[in-house]
Amino acid sequence: MRRAQRDGEMVAVLMWGHGAAQGPSRGACVTFQLTMAAVFTVLLITAVAFAVQAFQPHPQPCAQCPFDWIGFRGKCYYFSEDESNWTSSQNNCSALGASLAVFDSAEDLSFTMRHKGSSPHWVGLSREGKEHPWEWVNRSPLSHLFQVQGDGLCAYLGDAGLSSSHCSARRNWVCTKPALQKPRKNFCIST
Ligand SMILES: *[C@@H]1O[C@H](CO)[C@@H](O)[C@H](O)[C@H]1NC(C)=O
Ligand SMILES: *[C@@H]1O[C@H](CO)[C@@H](O)[C@H](O)[C@H]1NC(C)=O
């Protein structure tokens, strides 16, 4: 009887102590804590979402070409509106930090064919004489991938592919120059 009474007192003391530590309205406190936890979680998720978005660069073209130029496989192409002879065309490409078009692959040739329209365009291919080999303006020899029709010393792109004529003929021309590479290649889409 006495023992049970003491136990009861002790339980009461413990409960009173607990209640004192938590404050009188324990239910309201828990609700407040849950609300704060929910608000904090939402804020955290929002912050993480913003951070992820900020550090996720939107995909952009890997190659940068000047306005009015067309990018293709790491090079920028410029199709002239004016016509000029081969030497003057090359000088005008030079003035734009480029050269008359140099093709590294059959794809370069077909790309240029698609974009040149109906007018023949000078390209950066010439030879010193009919018995001399064709040479690109960057001094590399003409690969066996390409064939040049005609017996001129300067090459242009005609409707049937590469052809040649007198260098003094006035034609449109195509310039090429290397495209600027974006520093972060992993986050861009190839063009
Ligand atoms: C070549 O470029 C120069 C300026 O760089 C320009 O004055 C000239 O008209 C151009 N020639 C042709 C045929 O477009
Ligand atoms: C090429 O054109 C330029 C400018 O029009 C001219 O000064 C030059 O004499 C021409 N050269 C040839 C070989 O026709």
Ligand 2: distance of its center to the CA of 86 in Å? 8
* Residue 80 near residue 172, CB atoms below 8 Å: yes
Judge whether 115 lies within some domain: yes
Looking at residue 23, what is its pLDDT?
Answer: 52
**Whether 152 and 74 share a structural domain:** yes
Judge whether 172 lies within some domain: yes
**Whether 146 and 70 share a structural domain:** yes
- With a Cβ cut-off of 6 Å, ligand 1 is lined by 82, 84, 88, 92, 95
Instruction: Specify the residue with its C-alpha closest to ligand 2, atom 12.
Output: 168
pTM: 0.67
Judge whether 186 lies within some domain: no
Per the listing, tokens 């704060």 go with 36
Contacts for 75 with CB less than 8 Å, ≥ 6 apart: 63, 108, 176, 177, 178, 179
Number of domains in the chain: 2
**Whether 39 and 72 share a structural domain:** no
**Whether 42 and 88 share a structural domain:** no
Query: Does residue 81 surpass a pLDDT of 60?
Result: yes
Position 60 confidence tier, pLDDT thresholds 50, 70, 90? low
Looking at residue 59, what is its pLDDT?
Answer: 61
Looking at residue 177, what is its pLDDT?
Answer: 96
Ligand 2: distance of its center to the CA of 70 in Å? 27
Ligand 2 closest atom vs CA 86: 1
**Whether 94 and 137 share a structural domain:** yes
Looking at residue 19, what is its pLDDT?
Answer: 45
Which ligand has the shortest distance to the CA of 85?
2
Ligand 2 closest atom vs CA 168: 14
Looking at residue 186, what is its pLDDT?
Answer: 57
**Whether 45 and 87 share a structural domain:** no
The CATH number linked to 115 is 3.10.100.10
**Whether 72 and 158 share a structural domain:** yes
**Whether 114 and 173 share a structural domain:** yes
Q: Which of 55, 72, 100 is the last residue of a domain?
A: 55
Ligand 1 closest atom vs CA 82: 14
The tens digit of pLDDT for each residue in 71-80 reads 999 999 999 9
Ligand 2: distance of its center to the CA of 87 in Å? 7
**Mutation probe of ligand 2 site: the residue of 83, 84, 85, 172 with most atoms within 8 A of C-beta:** 85
* Cβ of 88 less than 6 Å from ligand 2: yes
**Whether 172 and 88 share a structural domain:** yes
The tens digit of pLDDT for each residue in 93-122 reads 999 999 999 999 999 999 999 999 999 999
Judge whether 188 lies within some domain: no
Which ligand has the shortest distance to the CA of 88?
2
Distance CA 134, CA 129 (A): 9
Ligand 1: distance of its center to the CA of 92 in Å? 6
Phi, psi of 114, rounded to the nearest 5 degrees: -65, -30
Average pLDDT, the chain: 83
Q: What is the mean pLDDT of residues 55-61?
A: 62
Judge whether 191 lies within some domain: no
Residue 168, domain extent:
64-181
Looking at residue 138, what is its pLDDT?
Answer: 94
Judge whether 173 lies within some domain: yes
Judge whether 126 lies within some domain: yes
The tens digit of pLDDT for each residue in 117-138 reads 999 999 999 999 999 999 999 9
**Whether 125 and 37 share a structural domain:** no
Judge whether 189 lies within some domain: no
**Whether 83 and 166 share a structural domain:** yes
* Cβ of 138 less than 6 Å from ligand 2: no
- Residue with the bigger pLDDT between 11 and 73: it is 73
Query: Does residue 91 surpass a pLDDT of 60?
Result: yes
Distance CA 110, CA 107 (A): 5
Distance CA 167, CA 62 (A): 36
**Whether 76 and 50 share a structural domain:** no
Q: Which of 55, 79, 95 is the last residue of a domain?
A: 55
Contacts for 146 with CB less than 8 Å, ≥ 6 apart: 103, 106, 109, 162
